[in-house]
Amino acid sequence: MTLLRILRTLAVLVILTVGWLSLSPRAVATGVCQPVGGSCTSRAQCCFPYCGPHHNCCVPFHNRACRQNADCCSYQCSGGRCL
């Protein structure tokens, strides 16, 4: 085999491996911490260590992407962004 063919085969294997790893489900430790949007009473319960004033785990940055009001510390999600 030529060096070019070996490198091409190696590149294909790397691409396939990265694709497989990104699509394979990963085990998530449940009960360890609440994700963004989860309910909390202290910051120790949140994966991102911030428990907002509405008792929700949130990231305290305005204009960040959100799916629901609970994702935002302001509890206001509009147009996919925290207000």
Give pLDDT tens digits for 4-26. 888 788 877 777 666 665 665 54
Q: What gap in Å lies between CA 77 and CA 40, rounded to an integer?
A: 19
Q: With respect to residue 6, please indicate whether it lies within any of the assigned structural domains.
A: no
Element (H, E) at 38: none
pLDDT means per 10 residues in the chain (83 residues)? 81 71 52 85 85 87 88 90 89
Q: With respect to residue 53, please indicate whether it lies within any of the assigned structural domains.
A: yes
Q: With respect to residue 58, please indicate whether it lies within any of the assigned structural domains.
A: yes
Q: Please give the tally of structural domains in the chain.
A: 1
The boundaries of the domain holding residue 45 are 33-83
The type of residue at 67 is R
Q: With respect to residue 10, please indicate whether it lies within any of the assigned structural domains.
A: no
Q: With respect to residue 22, please indicate whether it lies within any of the assigned structural domains.
A: no
Find the length of the chain: 83
Q: With respect to residue 9, please indicate whether it lies within any of the assigned structural domains.
A: no
**81-82 vs 77-78, strand pairing mode:** antiparallel
Q: With respect to residue 66, please indicate whether it lies within any of the assigned structural domains.
A: yes
Q: Per the structure block, which two tokens stand in for 9?
A: 């085969």
Tell me, what's the pLDDT at 78? 92
Residue with tokens 């497989």: 20
Q: With respect to residue 39, please indicate whether it lies within any of the assigned structural domains.
A: yes
Report pTM: 0.52
Tell me, what's the pLDDT at 50? 86
Query: CB of 74 within 8 A of CB of 64?
Result: no
